[in-house]
Each structure stands twice: as C-alpha cells, then as structure tokens.
C-alpha cells in the first residue's frame, strides 16, 4: 500500500495482492515509526454504509463502505473518494485507488 499525503489530501494506492486481502476481509496496515511514537494507517472494508475515517491513539483507521467489495469485484478501476468526519473545518480528503498494473 502506497500512501501519498499532500496538504489535507491522503491518497492510498492498492496493488492487486492487497486488493485480494481486502476483498477477503483482511485489513492493510502501514507503520511509520518516529523516535517516541509510531503512526499507523489501517485500511479495511467495513460493515457500515458510508466510508469513514477516524484518528485515535496514533492510528488512522480508514473503513471503506461495505459495498466497496462488490464495486471492486465488478469494476476494479473504480476509485473511492470521500472526506473524513473531522470536527474541524479542515476535513481530510481521502482517496483510495487501485494500482493493478503494478504487480504485473
């Protein structure tokens, strides 16, 4: 899983083997260690109707809507984009896209 951060926009690029894990109910994790803490990104397909993201305890959890599984099985090129539900006016824009040619 590649993660790109620019201003208030986070983009996740998923490869084919990672897509298979997500479709099988597994989550993807990426850890960014700092001297005293580690920032963790977790991406999964959840059970809720809307995609959502939450930051707690140095972990940024991105739970894609439950229909993402069906969408990606039918249309693997589909990109998921939404805004996080932050309390501030600076909600993060989150984008998850498939990079299926990268593994080939």
Q: What pLDDT, on the 0 to 100 scale, is given for residue 61?
A: 93
User: At 103, is the pLDDT very low, low, confident or very high (cuts 50, 70, 90)?
Assistant: very low
∠ Cα 38 85 7 (to 5°): 60
In this prediction, residue 82 carries a pLDDT of 85
Q: pLDDT per residue over 57-93, tens digit each?
A: 999 999 999 999 998 888 877 788 888 765 555 678 9
Q: Identify the pLDDT of residue 75.
A: 80
- Per residue in 8-46, pLDDT (tens digit) is 899 999 998 999 999 999 999 999 999 999 999 999 999
CA-CA-CA-CA torsion sign (81, 14, 32, 40): positive
Pairing relationship of beta strands 93-98 and 9-14 according to DSSP bridges: parallel
- Segments making up each domain of the chain, as ranges: 2-98
C-alpha 50/C-alpha 92 separation (Å) is 15
């Amino acid at each position: 899983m590649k993660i790109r951060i620019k201003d208030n926009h986070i983009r996740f690029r998923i490869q084919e083997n990672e897509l298979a894990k997500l479709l099988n109910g597994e989550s993807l994790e990426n850890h960014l260690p700092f001297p005293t803490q580690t920032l963790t990104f977790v991406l999964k397909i959840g059970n809720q109707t809307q995609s959502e993201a939450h930051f707690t305890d140095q972990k940024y959890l991105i739970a894609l809507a439950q229909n993402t599984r069906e969408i990606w099985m039918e249309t693997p090129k589909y990109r998921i984009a939404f805004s996080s539900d932050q309390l501030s006016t600076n909600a993060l824009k989150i984008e998850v896209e498939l990079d299926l040619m990268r593994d080939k």
